[in-house]
Structure 1
Amino acid sequence: MRSRRTLGPVRPRRNPLHLALAAALMLPMGLASAQSTPPTDDEEEPAPTAEQTQAAASAPAITLDRVSVTGSRIARDTFNSVSPVQVISREESTLAGFSSTTGVLQSNSVTGGSSQINNAYGGFVVNGGPGVNTLSLRGLGATRTLILLNGRRVSPAGSRGAVGSADLNVLPNMMIERIEVLKDGASSIYGSDAVAGVVNVITRTRVDDTTVEFQRNFTQDGGGDETRAGIMTGAVGDRWHASGSLEMNQRAELTLGQRGWASDCPRPLLGRNADGSYGADDYIDPRTGRPKCWTIDDSGVTINTIGTGNIAGVPGLGSVGTGASGNIFNRWRPNPGVTTGLPGYEGVDYFGRDSFDPAMLRESLISPTKNTTGFLQAGFDLNALGDAELYFEGLGHRRESQQIGYLQHSLDYPVGSPLLGSLSTLPAWLAAPADGSTNGRNVSVRAFIGWGPYKSWQEVDFFRATGGLRGNLGTEWSYDTYYSHARSDSAYMVENRLTDRIARSIDVVSDGRGGFVCRDPSGGCVPTPALSAAVVGGDLPQAYRDYIMQDTRGQTIYTESTFNFGVNGPLFDLPAGTVSTAMGVEHRRQEIDDTPDINSINNNLFGFTASQPTRGKDSVSEAYIEFEVPLLSDLPFAQEFTFNASARYTDYDSYGDDSTWKLGVLYTPVDWLSIRASRGTSFRAPALFEQFLGATSGFLSSATDPCNEYGNRNPTSARYQNCASEGLPTNFQQTSSVTSITQGGAETGLAAETSVAVTAGIVLQPEFPEWFGDLSFAADYYDIKVDNGVARLSGQNVMNLCYDSQPADFNSDAGQCSLVTRGVNNSMSVTSGYVNISESLVRGWDFTARFVREIGPGSFRTTARLSNYLTQAGRTFPTDPLRNTTGTVAQPQYAGDVDFSYSVQKWLVRYGLEWVGATNDYDYYETYFDTDYRPLYLLETGNYFLSNLSVQYRGDDWSATVGARNLADKEPPMVSAGWGNRIGNAPLYSGYDYLGRTFFFNLSKSF
C-alpha cells in the first residue's frame, strides 16, 4: 500500500544522523512509496530512506522522506517497529559485489546462515525444478517465506509439477531502491506463507533520467563468470511519471573439473590415519598404483563392469571373492587374458569395481543461466476521487538455464541372447525387469556402462501485470485497490533413454552376415551392440545412442490473480496520540497445469521415474484488520508505549476457513532504549503441487518389503502377525522391486499448516559525546513452532505404518494399508503422498550492531550481524523424537558478517568479512544414537571465513566500483564420502563459496 499521510503521534526531533543509524540498523521501511513532499513545521521529522542511510556517514545534513513499515499496513514514520526489520540498499549490494538481487537475498547476512536452493543444486531434485533460486528464512523452507515486490506477492515460477515458491531470478535489479526483510511471522498482515518472515523488494518510485550500467564478475580460476548489462530510464510530468528498466544477466557454467577440491578423489568411507587426518591414503588400485577414486558425484555408480549370478572365476588383482576358496564372484571386469571361470573377465570385489569416469568432471558445479528482465511502472494523477493516482506495474522475465549430469547405463542382456556370444549359456541372474525393457525375459548379464554426460535445460517465461488506484478518503484516510495477474510458462527438456526403444533394440536376430538386426525394425530401430570389453568400457555405437536417447519435453503453467482493496487512517485520539487502523479484503486465485512428456506419462523413461500431469486450482477470500494504539508518549520512562494488534480471516476453497492473529508492543522508556515483543499465529496453505501432484512412479529395492524374513521377529510383534495374516511364509523374501507411486494430498483432505511465533528484542541507541561517534545495537529472540506441517511420506514410511499397525486394526482396505497392494507372485506396490503430520521448531537470536564516527576528512562506519540458532528440530511423526540438528554439518549454529567502510569526498572503501561457524555431526550422533563416528568418518568442519574488498568512486553522474570476493581464495571445507549431499568432498551448503577468488567491477552512467 502507498501512504500519502503522516500517522501517529508527534515526537521530538532527533539528530538526522542518529536517525540514519537507527534506520540502517533496524529501520521498518515498507509497503508505501516514499513521499517527496517535505514535512511542514508541525510535522515530525521522519525516518530516512535507505539511500540516505548510505549517505549519512559522509553528509552533515540530509533530506528525509516519509516511509511506512514492512510488517504493518499502518503507515508510521518512527524508526522503531514492533517486529525486527533489516534494510539493504542497492548501494550496499553493489559494494558487496553481488551482480543480482538473487545473490543479495541468498547471502548469509539475510538468511542467517540457513542453506538456500541456488545454482549449485542443478543436479538435485528441488521444488521448482533445476535452475530455480529460492529463499528460506530461519531454515523453515522457501514455501514458508513470503516474497513481495512493492508490497504485493511475487507468485511462484519454475518448472515441473512441484512449483510452489517465488523464483528470485524474476526480480529486477537496477530499479531496486532497497530490500526490507521482516524476520517474523506475519500471516495476519499478509496471509498464507508468511511463517518465517517476509521479504519486500521496493523499487524506485520516480526516475527522471537515463542510466546505463555494466557489471562483470570473473573468477580467478575460470568458470562461473557473470555479466550483467542494463538500462533504466524514466520521465516525470506535472501529473504523471513513468520509468522502467531492461537488463540481462548471464552466468557461465562452472564444472567439477574446473575446481581441484571438487574433482579430487572423495575421501574414503571408513578409516582415520595415525596422525588424526582422514582420507590421506585412498584405496590404491593395484593395477595402476594410483588412488582408486570412488565416484566423484557421490551417486554410487559402478562402471566398466558386468554383473552375473555367483560364479567361480579368476580373481582380479587385489580382489577377494566369497566362498571357501575365495574365488566366487558376481561382478567382473574385462580381462582378455582370462580363459577359465568366466572367459574374458576377472572377478572383482567392492574395492575392485570401477566407479570413476573422467567424463564426470564435465558435470555442472554451477549451472549456466541467462536471465533477461524488464520492469515498467507508471502513475497518473487523476485530480479526482480523492486526489487519486492511477498506477501500473509490469514485470517480464525469461530464464534460460541448463545442467550437465553424468549417466550410468545398465544394459540387461536376456538369458540366451545371441548378443552374449560365448556367455549366452549363463543362467538367469535377475528376474525380468518390471519396466519391460527385456520384453519379459529374465536377465543373465547386466553390463554397468559409463554413458557419459547428459543434458537438461529449461526456458521459463514469467509475466506479472498490476493496475491500481490509490488516493484519499477525506482529509485523513487513504485507500489503495489493485488487480494483479501473473503467469509462469515453463518448458523443460531432458535427454532421456526410452524404455520401449531399449526393449525393441535388445530383441535381435541374425542379419546373416555375422551381425544383428532388430526383430522389429520399425521406427529406425538400431540393435543393441553385442557384449564386449569395448561396450562395457563405454564405447557404444553413436547410432545406438541416438536411437534410444531422445529429447523429452514438458510444460508447466502457473497462474495467480489477486484483487485487493484496503484503507487506512486514524480512528480517534488518545492522550498519547492517535489510534490508527488499516483494514481490507483480498481475493486470490492460483492454478497449476504441468504436463510432462508423453513418455514420462506412459512410464517410458528408462531409469527415471514416471510422472502424471499435475493439474489443480485453489482460491481464497480474506479480510484483515490492524490497529495501532499509542498508550503512553513523552512521559518520564515512557517516551513511547505502543500496542499493535492484527487479525485475518481466511476462507480457502481447498480446506475451508481459518484465522490468524498477532499482538505486539513497543516500549521506549528513554530515547536511547526500545523494547519490543510480539506473539502471533501464522499459517501456510498447502501449495498446489502438494495438493494435486500427479502420480509419480518409481521403484524401491526389494529389501524395503517389511515382510522380508519376518520369521526372525518376535512372534508376538505386530509385524510378524500382520505378515503371517497375508499367508506369507516366515522365510519370505521379496524378489521384485517395489513399485512406488507418489501423488498429491488433496484427496486425503490436506489442511493448512499452523504456527506460533514469539519474538522479543531490545534496541540500544545511547547518546555519546560527539567525539566518540554513534553506536546502535539490537538483539532479537525468536521462537517459531510449526504444527500440522505438510510432509511427503515415503513409500517405506507407508509400508512400515501398515505392517506395524495393531493386528486388530490391520485391514488391507483401510488406513495406510489401503495404499499397499500385493499382486501376482507377491509383487508389491505402494502409494504415498503429502499429509499433515510433521512438526518443526526453530529458536535463536539475531544481533546487529552499528558504529559511525567522523575520522579525519571522512566518515567511518561498521556494521556487524550475528545469528545464533539455538534449536533447529523437526519430526515427521508425533511419536518420533524431536532431535536438535543445529550445529551439524550444513546447519551451523553461528553465522555472521561484519563490514567496515570509510568514505571521503567521492571515494568509499569497504571491507567485509563473512563467517560460518564450525560444525560437527559427532555430538549429534553421540547424543541421540550413542554412537562415536570419530574413528571412522570426517564429519566436522572448522570456522569458515570469507573476505571481500571494494573501492567506489562517485562522479557527478557516473560511478565506478571495483573489488574482489573471497580474497583469500578460500575453498569449502571437506567431509567424508557417504555424508549427505555433497559436491566432491564438500557439503552441499549455500554458505560456502564454490567459485573461489572472484574479481568484479561495476560501471554506471546517468544522462
Structure 2
Amino acid sequence: MNDLHYRPLAVAVSLCLLLAVPALAGAQETPRTTTELDRVEVTGSRIKRAEVEGQVPIQTLTRAEIERTGMNSIGEVLQQLTGSGSALNAKFNSSGNFGFPPDGSGVGAGSAQVDLRHLGAKRVLVLVDGIRWVNESSASGVGAATDLNTIPLAIVERIEVLEDGASSLYGSDAIAGVVNIITRREFDGGQVTLNYGEYSKGDGTQKGVDLAWGTSGDRYTLFLGASWTKQDPVYARDREQSRFPIPGTGLAFGSGGIPQGRFAFVDPNTGAEQDIVPNTGVSNPRYDGSAGCSRTDDYHCFTSADRFNFAEYNMVLTPSERKGIFGQFRFDITDNIQWYIKALGNRRESTNQAGPEPLFFGPDGATGNPLADNIVVSALNPYNPFGFDLVSSGNMSLIGRRPVEGGARIFEQEVNTQYFATGLVGQFEAGSRSWFWDVNGMYSKNKAEQTNYGSYDIFKVNMALGDPAVCAATPGCVPLNIFGGAGSITPAMLDWIQPVVRDRSQNELSLFTANLSSDLFTL
C-alpha cells in the first residue's frame, strides 16, 4: 500500500484532550520530491498542521486589503463581509429607546460589533492573537458582545474570520463563528498614515492618524503603535430620506407627545370626550376635529398636523473620538522557546442624540411606569385650566407633553480599555514527533461611563402635578405647568424634574490558558 499517503491523528490539549480524525486522502502516485509545508494554527482549531489540510471556511483579510478599504474601524471592515449581519456601529443612535433592557445586559451605544450569519453579536467570539478579548461595557448595563472599537485598526496585521460554528472548541459564544485579530509583530522602521474624508454635503468629516514603529534583532522583535480617529456627526434633518420618521410621509407617523401638550379625557361636567391641544402657536384658533370634538375656545381638536417630528433631532451618523496605544515585545529565550509581552490602552468618547423626551400619562400612553400610568393631575394645580382632577384610572386616557424646554436627549459615553498579556510559546521533539505548546496569562478591563442629559424624574413630575400642598412641603418642589404650550415650563421647574443621569458598568477578564498539540499516530 505504498501508493497511499497517510494523514496523522492530531490532538490538541487545552487542559483537556481533544481528538480530530481527518479523512483518508485518495490514492495517487508518490512524487519523487516533496515540499515540507510550514505547520500553522488555523483559527477554529488548536491543532497545528499544514494550512491545506482539513480546510475550514476561513476568510482572511490582510493588512493591505484593510488599508484599501479606507475605513478606520475593525467593525466597519467586518460589516462589509457577505456573511455579516446587522450589528451595532456608528449609525446606531437609539440609546434612549434601547439602552436599558430589562435583563440588564445593556446596549453598547457608540460601539462597533460583528454579527456573523445573522445569529447575533453575542454569538460571535472575538480573539486577539488566539486569546479571548474582553466583552464590552455599555454604560447602561454589561453587554455580552465585544466592542471592536476597543482595538485600534493600526495594530492589525490580518483578520481571520471563521464563518462556521466553533462552539465545541470555544463555547456557546462561538456558535455563529470566530473572529481572530492577529496583531503586528515583525516590523522594521516607522510608518505614518493620515486619513481624511467627508460627505458631499460637507458633513460627517472623518480624520485620523496612525503611527507604527518597529525594530528587530537576532533574538527579539518590538512593535509600537498609536492611533487617533475622530468622526463628526451627520444629522437626520440634513438628509431628505431621514428628515421624517418614514420618508415621504411628513408628520403622519410623528409622535403624539407634542410641545403644545395633548389632553384626552372625558369632561365630568358634560360627559363629552375630548382630545384637544392648546392653540399656542396655531394661526387659526378655531379648529374642528373628528369624533365629535369641536372647540371655540383656546383649544382645538388634535389631528396629525399637530404631531411632533422627533426624527429631525436624531443622528444618522454618531460622533466619536478614539485614542489607542499598543506595544508588543517578543524574545527568543532559546531556539525553541519564545517569551512575549503585550499591552494596550484605548479610550473612546462618543455621543448619541434623540428628540426631547416626551411625558406620557394615562392608559393610552402606558409606559410601564406606575407613577406615570396611574397619575392624578390635581384640580388644585395652579396651572390646571380645566377645574377638575385628571385621573388616569378614571376620566383621563392620555396626556402627551414633550418638554422641548429641556432640550434634546443626549447620551455621552466614555469607554476605557486596558489590556496586558504575557506568555511563553515553544516546541520540542519527542518520539519522532513535533510538539507545540504555549502558556498564556492575560488581564483586561473595559470600563464605561454614560452621562444622560434631557431625561425626567417621573417621581418628581408626579409630585409637581399633584396636590400643591404636598409639593409645597417638599424642599425644592415646584408645581409643573404642562398646559400652557411650548415655553410654559420654566427653568425652575426643569431644575426640579430634570436630573443628570449617570450610568457606569465594567467588564473584567482574567485568563490563563495552556495548550499542547502534536500528531499522535497515523491512520
TM-score w.r.t. the length of structure 2 is 0.78
Which residue of the partner structure matches residue 262 of structure 2?
Answer: 306
Q: CA deviation at 1:481?
A: 0.5
- Structure 1 residues 193, 546: CA separation in 2 closer, same or farther (over 3 Å shift)? same
Q: C-alpha distance in 2, partners of 1:171/1:530?
A: 47
Whether the 8 Å CA contact 1:529–1:540 is kept in 2: the answer is yes
**Correspondence for 1:455 among 410, 419, 433:** 410
The answer to whether residue 335 in structure 2 is matched with residue 362 in structure 1 is no
**Correspondence for 1:68 among 31, 41, 51:** 41
- Structure 1 residues 43, 342: CA separation in 2 closer, same or farther (over 3 Å shift)? farther
The answer to whether residue 377 in structure 2 is matched with residue 414 in structure 1 is yes
Q: CA deviation at 1:539?
A: 4.5
Name the amino acid aligned to 1:454: R
- Structure 1 residues 93, 444: CA separation in 2 closer, same or farther (over 3 Å shift)? closer
Q: CA deviation at 1:138?
A: 0.6
**Correspondence for 2:91 among 117, 120, 123:** 120
Which residue of the partner structure matches residue 332 of structure 1?
Answer: 277
The answer to whether residue 121 in structure 2 is matched with residue 148 in structure 1 is no
The answer to whether residue 509 in structure 2 is matched with residue 556 in structure 1 is no
**Correspondence for 2:421 among 460, 466, 484:** 466
Whether the 8 Å CA contact 2:244–2:312 is kept in 1: the answer is no
Please give the secondary structure, in 1, of the residue aligned with 2:402. Answer: strand
Whether the 8 Å CA contact 1:413–1:446 is kept in 2: the answer is no
Q: C-alpha distance in 2, partners of 1:81/1:216?
A: 43
Q: CA deviation at 1:337?
A: 4.6
Which residue of the partner structure matches residue 381 of structure 1?
Answer: 332
- Structure 1 residues 539, 222: CA separation in 2 closer, same or farther (over 3 Å shift)? farther
Whether the 8 Å CA contact 1:312–1:329 is kept in 2: the answer is no
Provide, for residues 635-657 of structure 1, a one-character-per-residue CA deviation record: whole Å limited to 9, x for no partner: xxxxxxxxxxxxxxxxxxxxxxx
Q: C-alpha distance in 1, partners of 2:114/2:226?
A: 24
Q: C-alpha distance in 2, partners of 1:242/1:141?
A: 37
The answer to whether residue 425 in structure 2 is matched with residue 446 in structure 1 is no
**Correspondence for 1:191 among 166, 171, 196:** 171
Identity %: 26
Please give the secondary structure, in 2, of the residue aligned with 1:547. Answer: helix
Q: CA deviation at 1:471?
A: 1.5
Which residue of the partner structure matches residue 492 of structure 2?
Answer: 543
Q: CA deviation at 1:86?
A: 0.8
Name the amino acid aligned to 1:209: G
Whether the 8 Å CA contact 1:419–1:531 is kept in 2: the answer is no
Provide, for residues 686-714 of structure 1, a one-character-per-residue CA deviation record: whole Å limited to 9, x for no partner: xxxxxxxxxxxxxxxxxxxxxxxxxxxxx
Q: C-alpha distance in 2, partners of 1:538/1:266?
A: 28
Q: C-alpha distance in 2, partners of 1:118/1:79?
A: 35
Whether the 8 Å CA contact 2:360–2:398 is kept in 1: the answer is no
Provide, for residues 259-299 of structure 1, a one-character-per-residue CA deviation record: whole Å limited to 9, x for no partner: 111004735xxxxxxxxxxx6xx5xxxxxxxx54532xxx6
Q: C-alpha distance in 2, partners of 1:167/1:242?
A: 26
- Structure 1 residues 337, 220: CA separation in 2 closer, same or farther (over 3 Å shift)? closer
Q: C-alpha distance in 2, partners of 1:522/1:92?
A: 63
- Structure 1 residues 427, 362: CA separation in 2 closer, same or farther (over 3 Å shift)? closer
Structure 1 residues without counterparts, runs of 5 or longer:
1-7, 11-40, 47-64, 268-278, 283-290, 314-322, 433-441, 511-516, 575-630, 632-1007
Name the amino acid aligned to 2:497: I
Q: CA deviation at 1:200?
A: 0.9
**Correspondence for 1:224 among 204, 216, 225:** 204
- Structure 1 residues 175, 43: CA separation in 2 closer, same or farther (over 3 Å shift)? farther
Q: CA deviation at 1:171?
A: 1.5
- Structure 1 residues 133, 508: CA separation in 2 closer, same or farther (over 3 Å shift)? same
Q: C-alpha distance in 1, partners of 2:296/2:262?
A: 11
- Structure 1 residues 445, 479: CA separation in 2 closer, same or farther (over 3 Å shift)? closer
Q: CA deviation at 1:93?
A: 2.1
- Structure 1 residues 545, 43: CA separation in 2 closer, same or farther (over 3 Å shift)? farther
- Structure 1 residues 379, 300: CA separation in 2 closer, same or farther (over 3 Å shift)? farther
Q: C-alpha distance in 2, partners of 1:304/1:265?
A: 20
- Structure 1 residues 266, 155: CA separation in 2 closer, same or farther (over 3 Å shift)? same
Please give the secondary structure, in 2, of the residue aligned with 1:294. Answer: coil
Please give the secondary structure, in 1, of the residue aligned with 2:354. Answer: strand
TM-score w.r.t. the length of structure 1 is 0.42
Name the amino acid aligned to 2:359: H
The answer to whether residue 512 in structure 2 is matched with residue 571 in structure 1 is no
Q: C-alpha distance in 2, partners of 1:176/1:260?
A: 37
- Structure 1 residues 422, 164: CA separation in 2 closer, same or farther (over 3 Å shift)? closer
- Structure 1 residues 418, 74: CA separation in 2 closer, same or farther (over 3 Å shift)? closer
Q: CA deviation at 1:249?
A: 1.3
**Correspondence for 2:349 among 400, 403, 415:** 400
Name the amino acid aligned to 1:183: E
Which residue of the partner structure matches residue 914 of structure 1?
Answer: none
Please give the secondary structure, in 1, of the residue aligned with 2:122. Answer: helix
Name the amino acid aligned to 1:387: N
Within a 5 Å distance, the mapping from 1:307-322 to structure 2 comes to: 307-311=263-267
Which residue of the partner structure matches residue 117 of structure 2?
Answer: 138
Q: C-alpha distance in 1, partners of 2:497/2:508?
A: 35
Please give the secondary structure, in 2, of the residue aligned with 1:399. Answer: strand
Provide, for residues 323-366 of structure 1, a one-character-per-residue CA deviation record: whole Å limited to 9, x for no partner: 9xxx85333342695699673112235x3542226xx4232222
For these two proteins, the number of residue pairs brought into alignment is 456
Which residue of the partner structure matches residue 482 of structure 1?
Answer: 440
Name the amino acid aligned to 1:374: I
Which residue of the partner structure matches residue 596 of structure 1?
Answer: none
Name the amino acid aligned to 1:378: F
Within a 5 Å distance, the mapping from 1:804-953 to structure 2 comes to: none
Please give the secondary structure, in 2, of the residue aligned with 1:120. Answer: coil
Q: CA deviation at 1:304?
A: 2.4
**Correspondence for 2:297 among 343, 356, 365:** 343
Q: Which has the higher contact order (CA 8 A, sep 6+)?
A: 2
Q: CA deviation at 1:151?
A: 0.8
Whether the 8 Å CA contact 1:177–1:202 is kept in 2: the answer is yes
Stretch of structure 1 that moved more, 338-347 or 136-145: 338-347
Q: C-alpha distance in 2, partners of 1:565/1:421?
A: 71
Which residue of the partner structure matches residue 528 of structure 1?
Answer: 480
Which residue of the partner structure matches residue 68 of structure 2?
Answer: 95
Q: CA deviation at 1:566?
A: 1.0
Q: CA deviation at 1:97?
A: 2.1
CA RMSD, aligned part only? 3.3
Whether the 8 Å CA contact 1:312–1:328 is kept in 2: the answer is no
Whether the 8 Å CA contact 2:265–2:396 is kept in 1: the answer is no
Q: C-alpha distance in 1, partners of 2:381/2:297?
A: 17
Name the amino acid aligned to 2:116: L
**Correspondence for 1:242 among 185, 204, 222:** 222
The answer to whether residue 78 in structure 2 is matched with residue 105 in structure 1 is yes
Q: C-alpha distance in 2, partners of 1:331/1:102?
A: 48
Please give the secondary structure, in 2, of the residue aligned with 1:102. Answer: helix
Which residue of the partner structure matches residue 465 of structure 2?
Answer: 506
The answer to whether residue 155 in structure 2 is matched with residue 175 in structure 1 is yes
Whether the 8 Å CA contact 2:378–2:466 is kept in 1: the answer is no
The answer to whether residue 184 in structure 2 is matched with residue 204 in structure 1 is yes
Whether the 8 Å CA contact 2:352–2:410 is kept in 1: the answer is yes
Q: CA deviation at 1:445?
A: 8.3
Which residue of the partner structure matches residue 35 of structure 2?
Answer: 44
Q: C-alpha distance in 1, partners of 2:344/2:34?
A: 36
The answer to whether residue 387 in structure 2 is matched with residue 431 in structure 1 is no
Q: C-alpha distance in 1, partners of 2:51/2:295?
A: 85
Whether the 8 Å CA contact 1:229–1:247 is kept in 2: the answer is yes
Q: C-alpha distance in 1, partners of 2:209/2:39?
A: 32
